[in-house]
Amino acid sequence: MERVDRLLALVAELRAAAPEPLTAATLAGRLRVSERTVRRDLELLTHGGLPVRLERGRGHSLPPPASPAPLSEVGSLMGSVRDTLAEAVRTRRVVRLAYTDRSGRRSFRDVEAHGLVLAPYAEYLVGWCRMRDGPRLFRLERVGAAYLSGRAAGARELDDLLAALRVPLPRAPSDRGRRGPAGAARARAWTLDRLRHVRARLGEATARAREEGEGAAALRAVLGHLAEWTRWQVAAVRAEATGAAPVPEGRRPDFPPEFEGVLPHEVRERMIQDAMAWRSLGELARDLQEVLEAAGHWCAGADEVLWERSFPEPSRSGRPGPARPLADLLAGWRGPLAHIEWHLDRLTEEPGTAGDVVEEGREWDGEGVWPAERCPLHR
């Protein structure tokens, strides 16, 4: 277990038992580490500000979480909007909102408060709007004031509301036609949905390789390839869309200066594999996940006008491809997300042997990573 995960597990055990104490021996047994490691972790958490108490002879404990003071209807007008909405969600109440939409129009509406959702660039109230008689998301920064009424909200599940709010769009087909839905809001939602799906697949593949061991070496090699190519593709697409210089995300290794030039694919691929060789499976997976997380943050906050325009497909050869919609460049054919899924789909295939045809006119030499050699980006 990695240290961050161990600290999370340690805090979870203490909170689950709070306010009852747990001995270092008990915690060590549950986390499958030594008592010395538990004590060292507890000392680190205490110095970091976690209120861990040591009861001599009984063990370590956390104080029970304090219950928030109930918020009155008048008090809801005096405090912060977020506190009012949080109280409405906690007590399943109806709130009266003074809300300003993106066009600058202000409205007053009653909303059944069911959840607060933190997104990359904003926080939202998820609720049932009685004025529109349907589920709605309300951006907190656009709520000018909120009044906590005495009325109870209807019995609705947050998951059902979120599912109703999410635009149901299919994943991109595998052929080469134009992909992605029309309209800025739908294009963004489709891309973010594809991002979540790919990140989940990546996490599952990594966890499976760690637990079972089988396929870990192949996944490790492919992750090195994917981390660098995804980093470059996302940065290049963002640069095309914004006109700014490319900004590589994640934990990029040091490459020789010639790596940034025009190189044959096999030469570049060997440079990538050499640079990634010292990294563990977990480090490679984290690198790729960080690149995808940063892509998600940018997609969530990118100006809507970008989702309605087309941009040239970036190319490392210096000759850009045809213009395609932003959603298509990120989540469609030959985009970084389709590229990741292409490799994940082929990890279960036979690795191939020397002499197999990689592409027309070229055979595989038996070295390197077989799926990376057949990568569609190399064609």
Query: In the predicted model, what is the mean pLDDT of the chain?
Result: 79
Name the maximum alpha-carbon separation found in the chain.
78
Residue 374's pLDDT is: 57
Which of 149-158, 241-250, 285-294 is the least confident region? 149-158
The Cα 84–Cα 361 span in angstroms is: 67
The SS3 of residue 58 is coil
In this structure, what are the phi and psi dihedrals at residue 106, rounded to the nearest 5 degrees? -95, 140
Dihedral of alpha carbons 366, 369, 371, 372, sign = negative
Residue 11's pLDDT is: 87
- For the chain, how far is it from start to end, CA to CA, in angstroms? 40
Span 112-139, pLDDT tens digits: 988 888 765 578 888 888 888 888 888 8
Indicate the DSSP class of residue 132: T
Q: Which of 176, 157, 97 is nearest to 129 (CA)?
A: 97
Is the pLDDT confidence value at 371 over 80? Answer: no
Q: Which of 207, 249, 240, 374 is nearest to 315 (CA)?
A: 240
Indicate the DSSP class of residue 133: T
Span 89-99, pLDDT tens digits: 888 889 999 99
Residue 377: band (very low, low, confident or very high) from pLDDT cuts 50, 70, 90: low
Query: Which residue(s) pair with 146 in the sheet?
Result: 97
For residue 150, what are its two tokens?
């005495």
- DSSP labels, 288-355: HHHHHHHHHHHHHHS-HHHHTSEEEPP-TTS----EEEHHHHHHSTTSHHHHHHHHHHHTTS----TT
Is the pLDDT confidence value at 252 over 80? Answer: yes
* Length of the chain, in residues: 379
Of all helices (H) and strands (E), which one includes residue 281? Answer: helix 281-301
Span 312-349, pLDDT tens digits: 988 877 677 788 899 889 988 778 998 888 888 777 55
Residue 288's pLDDT is: 92
Residue 366's pLDDT is: 43
- Give the burial string for 177-203 (b: 16+ CB within 10 Å, else e): eebbbeebeebbbbbbbbbeebbeebe
Which of 64-68, 199-203, 296-300 is the least confident region? 64-68
- DSSP labels, 141-205: GGEEEEEEEEEEPP---HHHHHHHHS---PPPPSSSS--S-SSHHHHHHHHHHHHHHHHHHHHHH
Indicate the DSSP class of residue 261: S
Residue 165: band (very low, low, confident or very high) from pLDDT cuts 50, 70, 90: low
Q: Which of 335, 326, 324 is nearest to 184 (CA)?
A: 326
Segment 248-263 mean pLDDT: 82
